[in-house]
Amino acid sequence: MKMKMKTNTLRLRLQITVILFSMAAVLLVACGKNEVEGGDETVDMTDITVTPASVDVRVGDILQLTVAPVPADATGRPFEWVSSDPDVATVSESGLVAALMQGSATVTVRSGSLSRRIPVTVEGIARMKIGEITCDVTTSETEELSSGVKWYKLSLPEFENGVTNATAVAGKGLIINVAVADLSNQDNKLEVVSALPVNLTESPVSVYNRKKTELEAAGREPAVVVNGDYYRLNWTATAADPYGYDYSRPNGIEVCNGMVGESPYSETAGFYVRDNGSMGFATFAVDGTVDAGHAAMSFSVVNGHAAQGEPVLFNNSAHGWATDSAFAWSPFQSTYVSLSWPDGGWRVNERMEFTVTAIQYGVTTVIPSNVNQYYAAGGKSFNGEGAILVGNGASAIFLSSLSVGDKIGITTGVKINGMKTADRRLNAIGCMGAAILLNGTPNEDAEKDAHPRTSAGCSKDGKKAILAVIDGRQAGYSTGVTLPQLGHIMKALGAYTAVNLDGGGSSAMVVKGEVKNRPSDGSARSVANELMITVKKN
């Protein structure tokens, strides 16, 4: 009897439990229906869409990006915005993009683990901030010269430079010619060109025409040529510098596709293009070595003059005769060793092998009393050699141990910021003083006279070259700028680092053989060297 009562009780408890579970299930279903019917159900986001999907704007433009979740009814997820390069374009918390300078960036929006990338291209200039001055900018002309290479002309009619130095002109106006080359495209190159030695100097127009002929066989052509480094003018002999042969030589480093044309003279700073196409500002020094047998001697001067006892290397980038020969000089009684062309061609930071072709002993070069006596005054040129080593004192003893037919090695090491690099086909050109723009910061302490200017710069990633020529000294057309103003302009054009090249009457930009700016001399001046953008021939 007791057992039967216990069994009935257990059955009753099970029935009550089933009823309770059933009621709970009904309540859950009802609640679920209420959430859907009332719109309170949480829906997971599976993707993000952004309108527009890409951005093409001008400097100074502002554009709102609109973000939406997928599916459209997904809720409860905040969005975060970030720009890959705030120097080019910034983005606010609400997706408002502001274009600051020419270049490329990526804006990314994130929500949880989801993200969407929006490419941003900033071109053209609508407004430009130059120090404390903000001016409207008009792009008056533009041309795509090749894939990744563009030229355009900017006009700032309301610009005033705010200075009154002796050569500055009063009034308004500024004209800027700009060439931009993407060196990540291997068809595009930025190269240094030395003036023809026999001419002492050469105009950018002449360089363009000469290089157009020279490059044709290789399927290449020049696109843009601008003037290069400052150079020595109005030479008069002094005890410190008795060399008339230094007339018209560049002041800084010159390396043309691996051939050193000049070791630093009065300036060590410069602009370089490395073998991988990356660019930048640095200080330079030549650290060379001559080896013969078990003996070796170092040198630091190419196509110039060294202290007594030090050897000098001359090649056919030095001033010479109309032949393609090296031209050497020394005020000291010296030994001259003529060498063949280097096996495998000229290159830096790697040993090159030469053959001794002739030797002369006890030669003293006559120093000219004026520049006009350059050719009649002396100097030594053998016939058709690739290089000449000149030594006096201890270096003469070293060179005098050589014989015709000997094989010797020469390494023209080039140090960048005190370090040797692995580059073999390096290009480098000197500049005047410190960078006008370094790591995105204009140099406010640079010279504050207003002149025509030429500048070379590179983008933050070091792969895009920016060349600019600014006209000046022309009232009512273009007044010129100071170096701090030039730094701000180069930043606005997309440069992260930039240098000041020779300016004044030397400033010139040649595009496809045509002088695009208005040089203050009235025509493009002959200069010591040039920078040249070359492209694959169409």
DSSP string computed for 431-480: -SSS-SEETTEE-TTS----B-EEEEEE-TTS-EEEEEEE--SBTTTB--
Place 164 in a pLDDT band, splitting at 50, 70 and 90.
Answer: confident
Torsion of CA 508, 511, 512, 518, to 10 degrees: -50
Task: Report which of residues 304 and 455 the model is more confident about.
Answer: 455
Q: What is the 3-state secondary structure (H, E, C) of 21-64?
A: HHHHHHHHHHHHHHHHHHCCCCCCCCEEEEECCCEEEEECCEEE
Query: What residues contact residue 478 under an 8 Å CB cut-off, 6+ apart?
Result: 173, 174, 175, 452, 470, 471, 472, 518
Cis peptide before 71 (omega within 30 of 0): yes
- Give pTM, 2 decimals: 0.80
Task: Report which of residues 161 and 363 the model is more confident about.
Answer: 161
Q: How many CB atoms lie within 10 A of CB 158?
A: 13
pLDDT mean over 300-304: 91
Coarse DSSP helix, strand, coil percentages of the chain, rounded to the nearest 5 percent: 15, 40, 45
Percent of the chain with pLDDT over 90: 66
- Is the model's pLDDT at 92 over the cut of 70? yes
- Please, which residues bridge with residue 391 across strands? 335
pLDDT mean over 237-246: 57
Candidates 373, 291, 383, 379; CA nearest to 330 is 379
Distance CA 529, CA 538 (A): 26
The per-residue pLDDT for 347 is 97
First-residue to last-residue Cα distance in the chain: 110
Indicate the pairing of strand 138-146 with strand 441-442: unpaired
Exposed / middle / buried, residue 38 (Cβ in 10 Å: 0-12, 13-18, 19+): exposed
pLDDT mean over 344-360: 95
pLDDT mean over 42-53: 92
- Is the model's pLDDT at 261 over the cut of 70? yes
Q: What is the mean pLDDT of the chain?
A: 86
Phi/psi-derived region of residue 529, left when phi > 0, alpha when psi is between -120 and 50, beta in every other case: beta
- Is the model's pLDDT at 96 over the cut of 50? yes
- Of 16-20, 428-432, 486-490, the range with the lowest mean pLDDT is 16-20
Distance CA 316, CA 302 (A): 11
The per-residue pLDDT for 5 is 39
Q: Which element (helix H / strand E) includes 414?
A: strand 407-416
Q: What is the 3-state secondary structure (H, E, C) of 166-185?
A: CCCCCCCCCEEEEEEEECCC
What are 3-12's pLDDT values in tens digits? 343 334 434 3
Q: Which domains does the chain have, with CATH numbers?
A: 47-124 (2.60.40.1080), 126-229+431-538 (no CATH), 260-425 (no CATH)
Number of residues that make up the chain:
538
Q: How many CB atoms lie within 10 A of CB 5?
A: 9
- Is the model's pLDDT at 473 over the cut of 90? yes
Burial letters 487-507, b for 16+ CB under 10 A, else e: bbbbbbbbbbbbbbbbbbbbb
The per-residue pLDDT for 237 is 58
CB-hemisphere CA count at 13 Å for 285? 9
Give the amino acid at 153: K
Chain centroid to Cα 525, Å, comes to: 23
Cis peptide before 52 (omega within 30 of 0): yes
Place 239 in a pLDDT band, splitting at 50, 70 and 90.
Answer: low
Query: What residues contact residue 287 under an 8 Å CB cut-off, 6+ apart?
Result: 298, 300, 413, 414, 415, 420
Distances in Å between the Cα of 345 and the Cα atoms of 40, 227, 350, 354, 475 are: 77, 26, 11, 10, 49
- Of 218-227, 361-370, 440-449, 489-498, the range with the lowest mean pLDDT is 361-370
